[in-house]
Each structure stands twice: as C-alpha cells, then as structure tokens.
C-alpha cells in the first residue's frame, strides 16, 4: 500500500535508504548533523558522525573534498544549502567534477551527488533565493535533476546516488518547507533520468514547467480550463538529460509551446528548450515559443517586489493566451 | 641516515629520465614537431623525484604540471606519458588529457588546470583513506605560488581537523609563474603557515636528493601512523621559464649562476661516484641507455594512432541522452 509523505521526507528517506544499502554512501555539508532545513534530520543518529560529516564553511573546498572521496571509492552526497552558494563552488562543479571522467579518458568517474535548495518566496532577498539551474547547464558531464513530487524526488535522488555520474539535485524551498506531500511507492524503487512526466494531459498548448513551477502551471491549467483552454503540463524531472522525445510528442499534438522556470529568462533553460523546438521541429509549431521566467533583475528583499519577480500561474495564463493568439 | 646505494641509484635514474624527457620535449617543440606546450622543471629534479620515489604504489599522488618528474618518480611509463602528451588514442586518458596526466593503476588522479583546485581533492582522498581504514597516504605536490590559492586555507584546516593522512609537499622554486616569489609572498618561507593549523612542518634543501627523499619519508611515516597531515617545504630553483610561451626577461643571471652550482643531478652523481656505485664509464652507459629509452618512448608515441571522431563523444557520462 502506497504511503503519503512530504517532499522533505522523500529526500530524507532516499538518503537514509541508500546509506543503509551501500556503505560507500555518506553525507557531508555545512550543518548536516543539525539538519538546517531538515533533509538530513536523524541521519547522524542512525549512521554516526563518520558518515554524516559537518564541514567548515568553504563551499568550493568542501565540493573538492567530495570529489576526492568520490575518486577513491565513495559516493558522497554533498549539501550546498542554497544554489546561490554553489556559485562559490563553480570551479569544482563545472571545471573539475563535471569533466573528470572525460579528461581522464574514463579512468576517474566522479559519483558525487550535490544537493542544493533553490527558489524564492521566503523574503530572503538576493543571495538566498535564486534559481540558478541554467548556470550549470553548460558544463558537460553533469546530470541536472529538478522535479516536483515526493515520489519522483525520492526515486530520482536514489538514482542520483547510485549513478556513476556527478548529479546536481535541485530542491525547491516551497516543496521542502511548504509541506507538499504525495504518495510514494512502497519499498525500494528508483526513477530513471531522462524521462519526463505528464502532470496533466491536454491538447491545446504544451507547457514545460520546472520544479515548483509545475504547481503554478497546474493552477493555470484550472483557470484556463474554465475558459475552455486545455493545456498539457510536462515536468521534465531531469534538465540534463532532457526527455526531448516527450516534449516533441506533445508539441506534435498541440503545435504550441510555453516554457516555465523560476530562473531568469536570459540564457535560461526555457531558451534551450525553445531553441531545440525551433531547431528540430519548427514545422510543428503553429506559433512562436513563449518563455515564462524571472526578469533580469536581482531578487528584491521587499515582499511586494519579490512577488512581482516570481513567475506564477497568472504569468503562465498570460503566456498561454499569447501563444494561442499568435499563429 | 643516508639512502642505500640502491635507492640513491634508483632516484638518480629517475632524475636523469625526467631531465632527458623534458629536454627532448623542448627540442621537439623548437623544431616544430609537436604542439604541446611544456612547463619544465629543470633544476628541481631532486624535489620531484624526492617527493614521489618514496611513495608506495597504493599511495595517492596529486601532482603538478611542472614537467614529468613526479610521474616518473611514482613509476609512470615514459611511453604512457608521451602517448598521452601527443594526444594519442593509446594514451592513458586516450589523448583527452594530454599534459593533465592521469594513471589510475598508480593512483594518480589527473592534474587540474585551475591551480589549486586539487588542494581540497587531496583532503577528500585522505578522508576516503581514513574511512576505508587503509594505511595509504596522499602526497599533495604543489608549488609555492599555488599556496596563495584560496582553497589552500580550508584544505589545511580540514586536513588538520579530520587528521587525514596527507603530506603537503611544497616545492618552492622561487617563481610564481612569471614573477619572483618575493612579489607573491610577504615572507621568505611558506611552510610556517602550517603552524597556524597545527600541522607539523619542516623546511629542507631541495637540491640534494638524499635530503628531499628522507624528509618525504619522515612526512609519510608521520601521516601513515595516524598523526594527520604534515607539510614539507623544499627550497629549489626553476632553471627554466614558467612555460614554453613565457616571454622571459625577469630572471636574474646571478641567480641562475648561483643555483647552477648546485645542480641536483650533479650532486647525486658525485655521491654515487664517491660511494663507488658509479664510475664515469658506467654513468655514460647509464645516460645512453636512458636517452635510448626516452627516444623509444617518444617514437612509440609518434607512431601511435590518433583518436577518432567517435572518441570525441565517449567518456562524458554513463547516463544516456545527455547530448
């Protein structure tokens, strides 16, 4: 019988189950013993301080530590707290960890999982709120995971820990702290990389939404349904590898594509998906692709301004209508 | 305690091979026969050999791009080095790393490009050893210039905090890329920084192979016995420019003259003559054999096949569909 758990529990269970299953898995990061947000709660009690390692405050260096341990037989799960802080670790993430395997001709795979919280809405201003997924999409060798349900989060995090590739795992704060819950399968299971999920089937417009934006898209779907507009909401679940086939199949049906992300618009994930659609199946599109994303401004501290900054169901409704009006 | 005749001779051969390979590299570049830039370590061979020759095969080496000394020292095959250098398919990294040498069977992870990115990796490798409870040691080879890299600080903090078996081997060759060390350091020595982290350290002459070798053995024994990290600073002089594209003009002739009087290979040769281990005739034969082995390695690399277009896309990821 399936259980209902929160997104936070899903992350926690994935790590605990993998640590039970494989002694080479360990967790490290700043304050992981206390569990600043809660994902690592209880792990030190069960697995001891040797496998739940509090690190110093030095993001680039602790990422290098994870890399070193991964090269010599371990599967570290590193928590970098906020994706904003991952910018301090960009050399290790993008220049080193991502490219180890290739530059060593396959001699040194680097099975590190790097978890980081993403997203705005908690009035934490510019440096604790960003969604910087697109900063990491350029590094060859990295797998990028971001999903929206507890079942997928658990299954994908287990896949990440078992993967021999380095995986960046984004956890939206609204999913972690907003008490989002859902059913998860019993027992051990994984969710494979590169398989998107249709969260709501529809025939008029394809909406590809990342992470928490899936919920905004579903809300938009409800509002649009009242006006007789039927959108299809796709959660890619992994940004790299991207399930191009599913997006293609959906656009083949709808002829219209909207991308939704909380990250900023310039050079965003939506730009990549839009370029893919235009480059590979231009003929299927009945209208130009529309991107919903954050504007090119820092995240303001004022609640009023922050709410204006974050894309939401209203911006999605507007984008869907725009894509329907054109072409 | 002096090195045994056998150990001294073995180290001497490695120093000779290092210098021979690097001078051939320089010559081939000058002749326009290869494209790979060189960062040569002539004059530093007692350090590169002295820090790596005492390592066991299972010990882990994080080396630098300063020539081939550290790799020859740990036992890398000159043919493997050159196949990789030339970007050949038969290279250890299939030609994808070139001067970022990697040899998994010798526990040598690849040489990083962003200087100092490996400070923390060395600590992570040390953490892995500690968790596996083996008696391996990590030897982290680094130049003094890279000791100013930001990660030096947290790496030494964590190494000391977690008592991981890492020997930090600082090769002070008086230059930080294209400037004298005095432009990068407010102090004459680097090693005393270790005291701030509670890491034991020593500063030794880097020209005499017996001194460098024995200092390394002390560091390795300390780290292997579970006492945590150890730092050694070896004082030497880089007789070559930073790399083959270095415009030069900043090295004082009197320094070259002064340090040239204490060439590490000459010092080792004299010891071997004094001990009667080598004679001038035997030495000449030995050098000819090494030159021949180096030539054969380089020729094999020239003759080896290049990678194919297919190879461009292998080894990126195990995960499918990432392109």
Window 9-28 of A, Cβ < 8 Å to B: 26
Q: Which of B95, B154, B318 sits opposite A164 (nearest CB)?
A: B318
Q: Is A103 on the interface with B (CB under 8 A)?
A: yes
**Is residue A191 included in any domain, yes or no?**
no
**Is residue A156 included in any domain, yes or no?**
yes
Tell me the CATH architecture of domain B5-268. Answer: 3-Layer(aba) Sandwich (3.40)
- Structural domain of A120: 3-184
Min distance A102 CA to chain B CA atoms (Å) = 5
Based on the fold, state whether residues A224 and A139 are members of the same structural domain.
no
Based on the fold, state whether residues A216 and A175 are members of the same structural domain.
no
Residues in A touching B114 (Cβ below 8 Å): 91, 95-96
Angstrom distance (rounded) from CA A130 to CA A119: 5
pLDDT, chain B, mean:
97
Based on the fold, state whether residues A11 and A67 are members of the same structural domain.
yes
Q: Most A CBs within 10 Å: which of B84, B103, B121, as the mutation test of the A interface?
A: B121
A74–B322 CB contact, under 8 Å: no
Residues in A touching B95 (Cβ below 8 Å): 105
Based on the fold, state whether residues A155 and A65 are members of the same structural domain.
yes
Count Cβ atoms below 10 Å from residue A295 Cβ, excluding itself: 11
**A136-160 residues labelled b (16+ CB within 10 A) or e (exposed):** bbebebbbbbbbbbbbbbbbbbbbb
The three-state secondary structure class of A46 is helix
Count Cβ atoms below 10 Å from residue A307 Cβ, excluding itself: 13
**Is residue A277 included in any domain, yes or no?**
yes
Q: Most A CBs within 10 Å: which of B96, B105, B115, B124, as the mutation test of the A interface?
A: B124
Based on the fold, state whether residues A263 and A125 are members of the same structural domain.
no
Count Cβ atoms below 10 Å from residue B259 Cβ, excluding itself: 18
Closest to A209 (Cα-Cα) out of A283, A158, A133: A133
pLDDT in tens, B125-169: 999 999 999 999 999 999 999 999 999 999 999 999 999 999 999
* Interface A:B, Cβ pairs < 8 A: 163
Q: For chain B, give every domain's residue range.
A: 5-268
A68–B120 CB contact, under 8 Å: yes
Min distance B295 CA to chain A CA atoms (Å) = 25
Based on the fold, state whether residues A173 and A204 are members of the same structural domain.
no
Based on the fold, state whether residues A147 and A219 are members of the same structural domain.
no
A144: nearest CA in chain B?
A: B322
* Domain CATH for A304: 3.40.50.920
pLDDT in tens, B93-127: 999 999 999 999 999 998 999 999 999 999 999 99
Based on the fold, state whether residues A24 and A139 are members of the same structural domain.
yes
B315–A106 CB contact, under 8 Å: yes
Based on the fold, state whether residues A224 and A180 are members of the same structural domain.
no
Based on the fold, state whether residues A131 and A214 are members of the same structural domain.
no
**Is residue A104 included in any domain, yes or no?**
yes
Instruction: Indicate the residue among A147, A163, A184 that finishes a domain.
Output: A184
B124–A66 CB contact, under 8 Å: yes
**Is residue A190 included in any domain, yes or no?**
no
Based on the fold, state whether residues A154 and A297 are members of the same structural domain.
no
A71–B109 CB contact, under 8 Å: yes
- Region B266-282: mean pLDDT is 98
List the catalytic residues of A. 128
Q: Is A93 on the interface with B (CB under 8 A)?
A: no
pLDDT in tens, chain A (327 residues): 689 999 999 999 999 999 999 999 999 999 999 998 899 999 999 999 999 999 999 999 999 999 999 999 999 999 999 999 999 999 999 999 999 999 999 999 999 999 999 999 999 999 999 999 999 999 999 999 999 999 999 999 999 999 999 999 999 999 999 989 999 999 999 999 999 999 999 999 999 999 999 999 999 999 999 999 999 999 999 999 999 999 999 999 999 999 999 999 999 999 999 999 999 999 999 999 999 999 999 999 999 999 999 999 999 999 999 999 986
**Is residue A189 included in any domain, yes or no?**
no
Angstrom distance (rounded) from CA A30 to CA B169: 28
**Tally of structural domains, chain A:** 2
**Is residue A273 included in any domain, yes or no?**
yes
Based on the fold, state whether residues A24 and A170 are members of the same structural domain.
yes
Q: Which of B121, B154, B317 sits opposite A68 (nearest CB)?
A: B121
Q: Is A75 left (phi over 0), alpha (psi -120 to 50) or beta?
A: beta
């Amino acid at each position: 019988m399936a259980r209902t758990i929160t997104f936070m529990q899903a992350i926690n269970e994935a790590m605990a189950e993998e640590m039970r299953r494989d002694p080479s898995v360990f967790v490290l990061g700043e304050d992981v013993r206390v569990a600043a947000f809660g994902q690592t709660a209880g792990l030190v009690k069960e697995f001891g301080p040797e496998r739940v390692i509090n690190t110093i405050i030095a993001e680039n260096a602790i990422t290098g530590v994870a890399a070193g341990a991964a090269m010599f037989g371990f599967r570290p799960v590193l928590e970098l707290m906020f994706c904003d802080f991952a910018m301090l670790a960009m050399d290790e993430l993008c220049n080193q960890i991502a490219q180890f395997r290739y530059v060593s001709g396959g001699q040194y795979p680097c099975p590190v999982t790097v978890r980081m919280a993403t997203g705005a809405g908690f009035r934490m201003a510019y440096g604790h709120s960003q969604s910087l997924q697109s900063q990491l999409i350029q590094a060859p060798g990295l797998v990028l995971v971001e999903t929206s349900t507890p079942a997928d989060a658990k299954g994908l995090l287990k896949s990440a820990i078992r993967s021999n590739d380095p995986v960046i795992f984004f956890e939206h704060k609204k999913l972690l702290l907003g008490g989002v819950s859902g059913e998860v399968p019993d027992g051990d299971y994984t969710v494979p990389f590169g398989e998107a999920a249709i969260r709501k089937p529809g025939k008029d417009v394809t909406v590809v939404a990342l992470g928490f934006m899936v919920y905004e898209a579903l809300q938009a779907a409800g509002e649009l349904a009242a006006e007789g507009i039927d959108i299809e909401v796709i959660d890619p679940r992994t940004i790299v590898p991207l399930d191009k086939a599913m997006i293609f199949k959906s656009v083949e049906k709808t002829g219209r594509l909207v991308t939704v992300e909380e990250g900023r618009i310039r050079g965003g994930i939506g730009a990549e998906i839009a370029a893919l659609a235009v480059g590979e199946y231009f003929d299927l599109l009945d209208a130009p692709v529309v991107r919903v994303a954050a504007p090119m401004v820092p995240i303001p501290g004022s609640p009023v301004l922050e709410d204006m900054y974050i894309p939401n169901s209203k911006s999605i409704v507007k984008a869907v209508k725009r894509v329907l009006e054109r072409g | 305690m002096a090195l045994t005749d056998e150990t001294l001779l073995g180290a001497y051969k490695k120093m000779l091979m290092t210098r021979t390979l690097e001078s051939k590299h320089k010559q081939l570049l000058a002749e326009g026969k290869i494209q790979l830039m060189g960062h040569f370590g002539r004059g530093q061979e007692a350090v590169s050999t002295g820090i790596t020759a005492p390592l066991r095969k299972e010990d882990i080496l994080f080396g630098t791009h300063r020539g081939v000394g550290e790799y020859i020292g740990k036992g890398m095959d000159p043919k493997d080095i050159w196949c990789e250098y030339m970007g050949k398919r038969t290279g250890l990294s299939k030609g994808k790393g070139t001067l970022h040498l990697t040899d998994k069977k010798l526990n040598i992870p690849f040489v990083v490009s962003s200087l100092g990115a490996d400070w923390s990796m060395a600590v992570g490798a040390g953490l892995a050893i500690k968790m596996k409870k083996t008696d391996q040691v990590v030897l982290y080879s680094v130049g003094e210039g890279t000791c100013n890299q930001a990660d030096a600080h947290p790496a030494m903090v964590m190494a000391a905090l977690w008592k991981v078996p890492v020997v930090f081997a600082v090769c002070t060759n008086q230059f930080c890329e294209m400037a004298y060390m005095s432009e990068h350091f407010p102090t004459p020595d680097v090693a005393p920084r270790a005291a701030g982290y509670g890491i034991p350290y020593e500063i030794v002459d880097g020209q005499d192979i017996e001194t460098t070798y024995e200092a390394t053995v002390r560091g390795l024994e300390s780290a292997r016995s579970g006492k945590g990290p150890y730092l050694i600073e070896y004082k030497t002089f880089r007789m070559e420019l930073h790399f083959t594209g270095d415009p030069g003009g900043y090295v004082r002739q009197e320094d070259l003259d002064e340090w040239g009087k204490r060439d590490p290979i000459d010092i080792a040769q004299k010891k071997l003559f004094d001990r009667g281990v080598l004679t001038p005739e035997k030495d000449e034969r030995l050098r000819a054999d090494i030159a021949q082995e180096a030539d054969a390695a380089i020729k094999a690399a020239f003759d080896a096949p290049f990678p194919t277009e297919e190879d461009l896309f292998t080894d990126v990821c195990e995960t499918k569909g990432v392109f």
